[in-house]
């Protein structure tokens, strides 16, 4: 058991082996115990030792959204130590198993120290998680330029805000109708203006709402372009 009730509540909302649950419990505990990084998420964050992770309740929501939409191809912008990635990989692996098909999480991290820690955490979680993750190291504006799956079902934006729209524009052409974009901290972070105007423009085919999680969690669905 963890000292943080929100962690146990989140773990109760997901399907995972005791091994994965323990890794998640440990990582969330470390993340919630870290001194908040006040510099924001920058191009070079200066926070190489920090998780800057998605809150447990947001991880639970993301996992459940992925399960409900049966998402199998996911892109994560901003992986850090790989905590949120574990939720994505669990859901994708479970969805793929139900369909008797494959699935993949494309994780992205430009700090090699962080990428190495993420790999350790996924190894500790085991094959249930590790087998579904492809980590692309380097600047995601380059690493996501090619070799995306034909279909992307879900994009998690947990990244320096000026990178949110460039990421979406790389991934959008692969989104099928019903695909989702979730972006963290949209009410708190100034820099999301471009992303919000893009999502709001009917020409781009999205509908969105902001769920009242800490800092605001944007949930957008690609509904496709209106047929006149």
Ligand X SMILES: C[S@@+](CC[C@H](N)C(=O)[O-])C[C@H]1O[C@@H](n2cnc3c(N)ncnc32)[C@H](O)[C@@H]1O
Site string for ligand X, 84-103 (x = CB under 6 A): x-------------------
Q: In the bound complex, what is the minimum distance in angstroms from residue 121's beta carbon to ligand X?
A: 9
Question: Which span (15-23, 51-59, 209-217, 218-226) binds ligand X, by CB under 6 A?
Answer: 51-59
Q: Which residue has the tokens 């200066």?
A: 46
Task: Kindly give, in sequence order, each residue whose CB lies less than 8 Å from that of residue 187, ignoring residues fewer than 6 positions away.
Answer: 210, 215, 216
Residue 217 found at the interface with ligand X (CB under 6 A): no
The Cα–Cα gap between 228 and 190 comes to: 35
Q: In the bound complex, what is the minimum distance in angstroms from residue 122's beta carbon to ligand X?
A: 12
Structure tokens at 54: 């998605």
The Cα–Cα gap between 190 and 194 comes to: 10
Residue 110 found at the interface with ligand X (CB under 6 A): yes
The Cα–Cα gap between 178 and 156 comes to: 15
Q: Which residue is nearest to ligand X (CB)?
A: 78
Question: Which span (16-24, 44-52, 120-128, 174-182) binds ligand X, by CB under 6 A?
Answer: 44-52
Nearer to ligand X among residue 52 and residue 133 (C-beta): 52
Residue 111 found at the interface with ligand X (CB under 6 A): yes
> Which residues here bind ligand X, judged by CB under 6 A?
41, 43, 45, 51-54, 78-81, 83-84, 108-111, 114, 139-140, 158-160, 163
């Amino acid at each position: 058991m963890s000292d943080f009730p929100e962690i146990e509540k989140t773990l109760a909302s997901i399907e995972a082996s005791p091994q994965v649950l323990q890794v998640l419990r440990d990582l969330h505990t470390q993340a919630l115990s870290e001194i908040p990084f006040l510099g924001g998420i920058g191009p070079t964050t200066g926070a190489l030792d920090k998780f800057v992770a998605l809150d447990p309740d947001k991880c639970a929501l993301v996992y459940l959204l992925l399960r409900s939409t049966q998402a199998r191809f996911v892109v994560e912008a901003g992986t850090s130590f790989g905590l949120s990635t574990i939720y994505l990989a669990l859901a994708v692996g479970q969805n793929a198993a139900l369909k008797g098909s494959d699935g993949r999480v494309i994780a992205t991290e430009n700090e090699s120290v962080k990428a190495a820690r993420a790999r350790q955490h996924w190894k500790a979680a085991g094959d249930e998680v590790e087998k579904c993750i492809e980590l692309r190291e380097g600047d995601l504006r380059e690493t996501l330029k090619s070799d995306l799956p034909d279909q992307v079902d879900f994009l998690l934006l947990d990244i320096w805000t000026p990178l949110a729209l460039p990421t979406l524009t790389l991934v959008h052409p692969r989104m099928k109708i019903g695909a989702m974009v979730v972006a963290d901290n949209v009410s708190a972070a100034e820099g999301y203006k471009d992303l919000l105007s893009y999502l709001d423009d009917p020409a781009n085919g999205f509908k969105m709402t902001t769920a009242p999680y800490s800092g605001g969690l944007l949930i957008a669905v690609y509904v496709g372009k209106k047929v006149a």
